[in-house]
Amino acid sequence: TTSVTPGVPGRWTVKFPGQGIAGGVVHVTAVHDALTSPNGRFCQAESWGPDTSLPPNEIVKVACYRTTGVLDPAPGFSVQFARSSGGIGGGLYGYMYNNAACGIITNYTTLGFGTTCTHVGIGQYSIAFTGLGTPGPQDGGIQVTAVNAAAAARCKVASFQSSPNGQFFRILCYNHLGALADNAFTSTYQFKRSLYGPAFPPNRFGYIWNVPGAGPASTNYNSIFGSNGLSAGPPVWTIKYYQLAASLPGNSQATAYGTTPSFCGLHKPWSIAGTDILVLVNCFDNAGNPIDSGFFSSYSSQA
């Protein structure tokens, strides 16, 4: 059983038993708490890696912040860790972990091609999953998470282009003041593949891109039903992942899309509605006011 241990208020240690291994990537999404953090909150990864147990556990450090840059002790967040164990057929998938200077710390793609990262300005990065080609103009989905153990930070997607040569993204990272700032980050690309890598199993997973408004059909995928529902926003968007509730538990992540310092998270934990999974996403400007914003949402089941 995964465990979560609070530390200094606003920081947590997550233990994934028996999953300890070097490399891989972590994604973290805040769950908004309207009572304790009425103006929004965001979460980030601080570090991850194996401990000394036999077998080793994967230890992930998570921190959450208010828009003022102060650590937020409200406990709500969703976290996942993934590290590839080799190639597997079906769909396209890749991840990388880049330091603040764009150096690649760890990376992987299902087809064995490389990834690239170019630092194009303060807090601005161009990344590519080369060789993971699709027809375009946009296909699949992506999740991005800031990595910083010293200060509040958040990263998002500013542009997205698919082509037969691969997948190309512009990533922007900000400090809590809303200023562009160099920062380490993880990114994971998925195309007809779950966010943590395998496909079939898990048999139930999906993703969707809100631009705002649903993106191209090729960015809205459901492994059972074909596509997902998107409605009711803003300020809270409802994603209905049809027929994905049969294989619990699951995990959901969200990443903001756009060129402003806005950020997005989960309005509340995902829930079951009959045979469907409901994921609620809300977004905020840098001051914490609810806004209409683009985002990527992803849900993956266990089996």
* 170 and 220 inside one domain: no
Q: What are phi and psi of 269, to 5 degrees?
A: -60, 145
Q: Is position 87 within any domain?
A: no
* Element at 238 (helix H, strand E): strand 236-241
Calpha distance 61→73 (Å, rounded): 14
Where a domain ends, among 63, 82, 101?
Answer: 82
* 98 and 78 inside one domain: no
pTM for this prediction: 0.97
Contact, 119 vs 103, CB < 8 A? Answer: no
* 280 and 238 inside one domain: yes
Segment 93-135, tens digit of pLDDT: 999 999 999 999 999 999 989 899 999 999 999 999 999 999 9
- Supply the pLDDT for residue 39: 81
* 14 and 104 inside one domain: no
- Please, which residues bridge with residue 77 across strands? 30
* 161 and 219 inside one domain: no
Segment 18-48, tens digit of pLDDT: 999 999 999 999 998 777 777 899 999 999 9
For 155-188, give the DSSP string: EEEEEEEEETTEEEEEEEEEETTS-B---EEEEE
The tokens describing 84, both together, are: 């590839």
Tally of domains within the chain: 3
Where a domain ends, among 165, 191, 217?
Answer: 191
Segment 163-215, tens digit of pLDDT: 999 999 999 999 999 999 999 999 999 999 999 988 778 889 999 999 999 99
Q: Is position 19 within any domain?
A: yes
- Domain extent, residue 259, equals 205-301
Closest Cα partner for 153 from 120, 185, 105, 119? 185
